[in-house]
Amino acid sequence: MTDPILAGDVNRPELARTTAHLDLLALARDVAAAAGDLLCARLPEVAGGRLLADGASTKSSPTDLVTDIDRSSEELIVRSLLSARPDDGIRGEEGSAKDGSSGVTWVIDPLDGTINYLYGIPTFSVSIAACLGDRGIVGVVHNPSTGEMFTAAEGLGASLDGHELRLHASRRPLGEALVGTGFSYRAGNRAAQARLLSVVLPAVRDIRRAGSAALDLCAVACGRLDAYYESELKPWDVAAGDLIVREAGGSVTALEGLFEGPVFVAAAPGLEAPLLELLQRASSETA
């Protein structure tokens, strides 16, 4: 089966691709909302950090908790997507994997901000992206606590609850920029990130650490943050947010050489170069 996104209409290919993108976006938006409803419905079970004994396990360390709620959310998302588009591929944080024949692969984070969720902090999200190869073509990030829905489609822009997001060149120097970041679950890596932060923090207005990479990227897209950087992110952490930032007019760069993997740096126009320079300098000073 050849997907219309790949084939298009031989007479009106751009229109066909636009229609296909919007169809994918509508599906992702509906599925993200349903997953968000599930997360909210089950939040009382774990609010305040109280874990059910049979509903918690660990990933890379005891700090990195994953619950049966993550898995339930991913199961709902995968079931819904494949019911509508059975020939698509799947790549999910909780292990869902399927090769598809359509060329479209869904990259899913069913609960980004697990620790926030477990403690009842209302900063967690559902992130769903549709990709062609490594290229995101549709992205949705939904915060169930606020009801906010960030969306983007390749070439069609980004929006928050239907209102267009459009970043303009920042008039702020880096020293007046509000910058978001995040930290590893591994103590040794957190220590290295803290050393980097000790150089970055005095060079910017202030630092925020919200706890959901997908929402941090969206915060850049809507101007709540001027920039954001974080290492150790996985494809499902950034696939949707990356597209939302780019379609809003910002930039996302994978900066190599600071840690074992890339540092993802998102910024409003005009702030990318000075922030990249600062991070590289901070890395050399703390090595």
Domain 174-286 has CATH 3.30.479.30: no
Map out the domains of the chain as residue ranges.
4-165, 174-286
Q: Is the domain 4-165 a CATH 3.30.540.10 member?
A: yes
Question: What per-residue confidence (pLDDT) applies to 267?
Answer: 97
Tell me the per-residue pLDDT of 46-76, one tens digit each, with 9 for 90 and over: 754 454 444 555 444 433 445 688 999 999 9
Q: Quick one: what percent of the chain has pLDDT higher than 70? A: 87
Q: What is the pLDDT of residue 46?
A: 75
Neighbours of 257 (CB within 10 A): 10
Q: What pLDDT is attached to residue 49? A: 46
Query: Could you read off the pLDDT of 232-281 as tens digits, one per residue?
Result: 899 999 999 999 999 999 999 999 878 878 999 999 999 999 999 999 99
**Phi, psi (degrees; rounded to nearest 5) at 118:** -65, -30
> Which among 73, 21, 23, 22 has a CA at the least distance from the CA of 46?
73
Indicate if 174-286 has the same CATH topology as 4-165.
no
Which pLDDT belongs to residue 56? 52
pLDDT at 1: 43
**Closest by alpha carbon to 127, among 101, 155, 106?**
106
User: Dihedral, CA atoms, 170, 174, 177, 178, nearest 10 degrees?
Assistant: 130
Q: Supply the pLDDT for residue 115.
A: 87
